[in-house]
Each structure stands twice: as structure tokens, then as C-alpha cells.
Amino acid sequence: MEKIFQKFAFSSATLVFIILLGIFITLFNAARPAINEFGLNFIVDPAWNKEVPLSTPQTTTDKSAAQKSVTDTNDESVDVNDYGDSSDDMIMEDEDDTPTKTIYGGLVPLVGTIFSTLIALAFALPIAMGISIFLAEIAPKKIATFVGGAIELLAAIPSIIFGMWGLYYFAPIVADLFGGFQVSLLTAGLVLGVMILPFMAAITRDSMNTTPDILKESAYALGATKFEVIKDVIFPYSKVGIIGSIILSLGRALGETMAVAFLIGSIFELPHKITDPTISIPVALANNFGEASGLGMSSLFYLALILFVMSFAIISFAKFYFLRKANS
Amino acid sequence: MKRLLINKIILTLSTISALIGLAFLAWILVTLFIKGLSSFHFSLFVNDLINNGLRNLIIGQFILAGMASIIGIPLGMVAGIYIREYGQGRYANLIRNLSDIMMSAPSIVIGAFVYAIVVVPTGHTSGFAGSIALAIMMIPIVISTTDSMLSLVPQELREAGIALGASKYKVIFDIVIKSAKVGIMTGILLAFARIVGETAPLLFTSQTSNYFTLDLTHAFPSLSVSIYDLASDVQTSSRDLAWAASFILTVMVLVINLTGKFITRNKK
């Protein structure tokens, strides 16, 4: 019995490893047609679902296939055997008989993801720091428990609620203040900021609370003000943990889907201004997964892979470089 | 004098930040209550979505999260036990770190993963696929709770058990788990609260359904996914329904969450 349980426990723990590896392999496999077709160029190409003329010269089999498609509708996908993986997505146009292929690039969602996350971070960081200073140092114990509990409640609210509230109540105000569209990079980033605010504040407070009281008391005894204690004792002491917390929140914000889905506008266009609508990787997945097929689907998996690798890298960076000490 | 002034300014700014945080919470909750209650009606609990009710969605959401718990809780707990009680140094630490990373993995990516391994081979979305996606989200949360709760159990208790000649497995189940029971239960409750409000992993795994069904092999009704559909609908009646649904979902999540917190506080 002992042996069986130990084996079972070992396999359950290993399951974590298997799932993570499985996610990576599965996404990579599903993305492979797109990776073969576009390579690393994918991440700098702003075109999504765009038809471009085929550069390769026509073979006879291609032509007969093309002519066959002309007799159907002009938007039929045609299988062309000698074009490898992209065959599903070659779309023929009937006007000039030049076949085109659909290309996909991930630059727009990538830019949308990074910028919405940065806006969220810029918005949430000062407020989260303020809240954690308030909770750790200023508020009396009773108030700190109450406010801390309330902030944790904010973290428990499902993200889709943030999206709906953001779209109908928050975005109109932001749009009035800054101009531009109600659905935009800016409003999406700000709502994302409100969302990661409680998470960031809670873990930053926990880092600050690790500062030994004796250090703080020594500083107070020397006549330091509260701000000086925070700046010269608590921050230096818990710096590593705080930076780790910030990076962890950043990883959270990167992958957030539902709050952003309502607000970012969901169009594959590079934003020229901060108030322009665009799209992020999670939202591109959420909105296009249902209808996509062939190379389009594969490109979505490519995006998912990029997002997974990005968040994996960011979180492990935070874990191994900054939070190791705090973790013990 | 200048030092004191700076001190005052910073402390005031911090307090204002806390008020901003509270204001956002209040703003969201008040909005939900006003919009939700104005379109709330008890017939919502009787009718299915096809008749403008939410019954099938609420039950469906609980079944999805419940199925996920049935898969995720035992696996997560046993894995947590392994890394705390059996694991030797490095491997246990690796799994602990990987589990933490998995906890922060984007939920939409988990949805895409389950889509590729379950929905594509079976050919259609299903309640099972949705449950698996939620279970994958739940496992690392349960692992980390179990791990930290077991770490609070004093080492002497384990030694006492072993000194009495009990096998390690007996010690774990009859002594260690028993003394960490409340903490683990609370953690599981909080984990449940977290996955029951999830939308992104369900979007293309379970999808949602307008009808009442208990058949997990097909598209399954989900409250959160339907909120997304309804909220982006052009019709005001759909949007009102989305607000009512959001209100119910939030109340569900917050009640479970607060229950967990209440148990922890009473214990302390």
C-alpha cells in the first residue's frame, strides 16, 4: 500500500511536468504549418488574413485547379498538391486568373499585447505601491485587515465582469477625457490595470511585511520619518521581492483575455495612437478560434505558442531571479 | 520641516491609493447590483436560456467546475503531498516551481491546448473538454495550497507517528492531513471560487448551449461563456440578461470566496 501510494503521488507530481511539456509540444505541433510557412518573419509581419499574389510561377496542375475553382465561387479554397502546407489556404481570384495565397503575421496582436500590458503596468504600479504601503505601514491593524480583504475581493471578481463594466461604464469616461474611441488600446490597458491592481498590491504588501520589525524600529529610534523608513529600510530590504511581484503581475496581464476582449476593439490594425483600437494575442485567439481553419488556425496556434513562451519566460525569470529568496 | 512635509505628502498619496482601490471595487459592485438587480427576476432560475432564463447556464457552470474539481482536487492534493512529504530536494522543488508557473499560464492558452488534444480528435466541443481545461487550471492551485498547509504541520507530529511504528502513508493520512484539514479545505474552496468564474478556457472547449443538458459529451451550457455572447449582442434585452447573469456569477464567486476566508479567520 505504501509503495502504491508513493508511486501514485510521484506520478501526480510528474503530471505537472507532463502537462506543461504537453502544452508546449501540442502548440508547437499545431503551429508547425504556420511556422514552416512564415518562420520568424511571423512576428514582424503586420498582415493578418491578407491575400497576396503568389510569387511562384504557375505549374500546369495549378492552372487546371485554378480554372476549376473559377467555375465555382471565387472564394473557394483549392487544394494544390505541390504547394505543401499552405495548400488549404490558397484562394483563387477569378478576375485575372492570378492565384493568391493568404498570409498571416503576428505583429499586430503582439504589439497590442505588449502595449496594453505596459499601459496596465504604468497605471497599476503607483497605485499598487501606494496601497501596499498603506496596508503594511500606515493603516491600523483593523483598517488594514478590512481594506486588505476588500482589495482581495476585487481580485476574486471574474475577469469577464471587469470587461463588461469597463466597456459600458469605464471606457466612456476614459474616452471623454482622452478623446478617441471607447474601444482602444488605452481603455483596454487601463481596465487591465484595474484588474492586476489587487494582485500586485497583495503580493507587494506580503514582500514588504517580510522586513523585520527590529530594522524599522532602529530607524524610527534614529528619528526617521515614516517615509524615510519606507524608502531607506523597507524598500531596500524587500526590493527583490517587490520587483518579482511586479514581474509576476506583468505575466498575469499578458495572458488576460476576457477583460481585454471587450475593450481592445478586436481589429487587426496597428494602432497609430494610444486611443486607436487594435487586438491582443489572447483576444485574437478568443475571437477567431471558432471560425479558423487550415493555415489560419495554425497561425492562431503560433500566436498561442508565442504567448505561452513569453509568459513562461517572464514568470520563471521572476521566480528564479527575484522570488527565490522570498520562497525559501 | 521639509522632511516632515514630504512624509505627509507620501502618506497622503498612499492613503489616496487605497481609497482609489476601494472606489474601483465599490464602483464595480454597485454597477453590478444596480444593473443586475434591475433585470433580475426569479423566473431566471426556472427558465433556460432559450426562454430567456439562466437555469441551464448556472447548473452547467457548476457541473463544469464540479467535474474539474473531481479531476483536479485528488491529483493536486496527492501531488502536493508528494512535494512536501516524499519529494527529495531538487525534483520536488522543480515540480513546485513548475506548478507555480503553470498557475500563471494564460488561461486562453490552456483552452487552446485542450482544444487541440480533446476537441480536435473528438470532432466537437464537449463538457468534458471544458472540465479538463478547468481541471488543468485548478491542479496547480490545489498543489500550492496543499503544499503550504502541510508545511504548517509541526515536524514533531510526524516523528511521533513514525516512532509509534506507523508507515509513512499512515502518518500522512491519519496525522498530517487530519491536522491540516481545515486549511486544505479552505484552499480548495478558494480554488473552486477561482475556476467557477473562468471564461477563457471554456470559450472553445465546452462553448455554451441554450438548452438544459447533462450530457458532457456535447457542447455544454456555461454561464460565463454565455455572458460573453450576450454582452456583445446588439439587443438590449440580451445585454440586460448578461447583467443579471454577471450579477449571479459574481455573487456566487464572492460568496464561496468569503466563506473560505471566514473559515480561515475563525480558525485563527
SS3 A50: strand
- ipTM associated with this complex: 0.92
B266 touches chain A (CB under 8 A): no
Name B182's Cβ contacts closer than 8 Å, sequence gap at least 6.
Answer: B263, B264, B267
Q: Provide the pLDDT for residue A45.
A: 86
Task: Give me the DSSP letters along B147-192.
Answer: HHHHHTS-HHHHHHHHHTT--HHHIIIIIIHHHTHHHHHHHHHHHH
Q: Determine if residue B154 is left, alpha or beta; phi over 0 gives left, psi from -120 to 50 gives alpha, anything else beta.
A: beta
* Cβ under 8 Å to A: B residues 129-158: 136, 139-140, 143
- A136-184, pLDDT tens digit by residue? 888 898 999 999 999 989 999 999 999 999 999 999 999 999 887 888 9
Q: What pLDDT sits at residue B40?
A: 87
A52 strand-pairing partners: A101
Residue B161 neighbours by CB under 8 Å, 6+ apart = B170, B171, B174, B175
A4-32 tens-digit pLDDT: 888 888 999 999 999 999 999 999 999 99
The beta-carbon neighbor of A225 closest among B3, B79, B169 is B3
A91 pLDDT more than 90: no
Which pLDDT score is estimated for B116?
93
Which residues of chain A are within 8 Å of residue B116 when distances are taken between CB atoms? 26-27, 29-30, 301
The mean per-residue pLDDT over the stretch A64-80 comes to: 41
Asked if pLDDT for residue A82 goes beyond 60, the answer is no
Query: Does B25 contact A153 at a Cβ distance shorter than 8 Å?
Result: yes
CB distance A288 to A118 below 8 Å:
no
pLDDT tier at A56, thresholds 50, 70, 90: low
DSSP string, A156-225: HS-HHHHHHHIIIIIHHHHHHHH-S-SSSHHHHHHHHHHHHHHHHHHHHHHHHTTS-HHHHHHHHHTT--
* More reliable by pLDDT, B136 or A241: B136
Q: How far apart are CA B4 and CA B10, in angstroms?
A: 10
**Which of A152, A234, A147, A162 is closest to B28 using CA atoms?**
A162
Q: Is B236 exposed, middle or buried (0-12, 13-18, 19+ CB in 10 A)?
A: exposed
Residue B12, domain member (yes or no)? no
Mutation target among B5, B29, B95, B104 for the A interface, most CBs of A within 10 A = B104
**Cβ-nearest to A289 among B20, B81, B115:** B115
Give a yes or no: residue B165 inside a domain: yes
Nearest to B261 among A149, A285, A316 (CB): A149
Give A226's contacts in chain B (Cβ within 8 Å). Answer: 7, 10-11
SS3 A280: coil
* Mean local confidence (pLDDT), A75-82: 40
AA letter at A167: L
CB count within 10 Å of CB B57 equals 29
Q: For residue A61, is pLDDT > 50?
A: no
Closest alpha carbon within chain B to A314: B101
Rg (CA), chain A: 25
pTM (two decimals): 0.88
Give mean pLDDT in consecutive 10-residue pieces for chain B, a chain of 268 residues.
88 93 94 91 88 91 96 94 85 90 93 94 92 96 92 90 88 89 91 93 91 90 93 88 94 93 78
Structural domain total, chain B: 1
Residue A89 has pLDDT above 70, yes or no: no
Query: Does residue B140 belong to any structural domain of this protein?
Result: yes
Residue in chain B nearest A25 by alpha carbon: B113
Is residue B151 in a domain?
A: yes
Nearest to B108 among A5, A169, A257 (CB): A257
B212 falls within a domain: yes
Min Cα–Cα distance to chain A from B257, Å: 7
| Over residues A64-93, mean pLDDT | 42
Q: Which residues of A249-280 are buried (b: 16+ CB within 10 A; e: fewer)?
A: bbbbbbbbbbbbbbbbbbebeebeeebbbbbb
Give all domains of chain A, ordered by start, each with its CATH number.
Answer: 49-104 (no CATH), 107-327 (1.10.3720.10)
Question: Rounded distance, CA B88 to CA A313, Å?
Answer: 26
Instruction: Read off the CATH number of the domain in which B225 is found.
Output: 1.10.3720.10
Cβ neighbour number for residue B89 with a 10 Å cutoff: 7
B contact test, residue of A110, A160, A300 with most B CBs within 10 A: A160
Q: What is the pLDDT of residue A97?
A: 59
Q: Classify residue B16: in a domain, yes or no.
A: no
Q: Is the Cβ pair B228, A319 closer than 8 Å?
A: no
Q: Nine-digit cell at B6?
A: 514630504
How far is A143 from A156, CA to CA, in rounded Å? 20
Residue-number span of the structural domain to which B207 is assigned: 39-267
The amino acid at B98: L
Q: Do A138 and B20 touch (CB under 8 A)?
A: no
Measured between CA atoms, the residue of chain B closest to residue A304 is B109
Is B30 within a domain?
no
Q: Which of A2, A147, A164 to mutate to test the interface with B (most CBs of B within 10 A)?
A: A164
B26-41 burial code (b ≥16 CB/10 A, e <16): eebbebbeebbeebbe
Instruction: Report the chain B residue with the minimal C-alpha distance to residue A13.
Output: B79
Residue A80 pLDDT exceeds 60: no
Residue B20 lies in a domain: no
